[in-house]
Amino acid sequence: MTITRNDDEATAQTPVERAFAIHRSIAACHAHIARGDGVHALTAALMLPCYEAGFRRIALSLDHAQARELRTSLDALRELV
């Protein structure tokens, strides 16, 4: 459900990569909550606001080109679903 990275890996990622990874965690949380996976759904419900805040923080810090790159990545992900 969550993406675990050490600090070195997290700082090596671009802001777009970090936002995309957080978005995947948000989607996983929604899936666990929808399935009602007991403890996993509870954990997901607790983590979801943190992931959403992190995504928002990064998204607001992106420049125009980075925002476009993130939108393109998210659109491609939606097409897979």
3-state class (DSSP) for residue 72: helix
pLDDT score at 6: 54
* Residue 21, pLDDT score: 95
- Express each pLDDT in 20-29 by its tens digit: 999 999 999 9
Residues near 60 by beta carbon (within 8 Å), at least 6 away in sequence? none
> Are the CB atoms for 19 and 62 separated by under 8 Å?
yes
Looking at every residue in the chain, the average pLDDT score rounds to 89
Map out the domains of the chain as residue ranges: 7-80
For the residues of 19-38, what is the DSSP string, one character each?
HHHHHHHHHHHHHHHHHT-T
Instruction: For residue range 24-66, list pLDDT tens digits in order.
Output: 999 999 999 999 989 999 999 999 999 999 999 999 999 999 9
pTM of the predicted model as reported, rounded to 2 decimal places: 0.79
Share of the chain above pLDDT 70, in %: 85
Residue 44 dihedral angles phi and psi, to the nearest 5°:
-60, -40
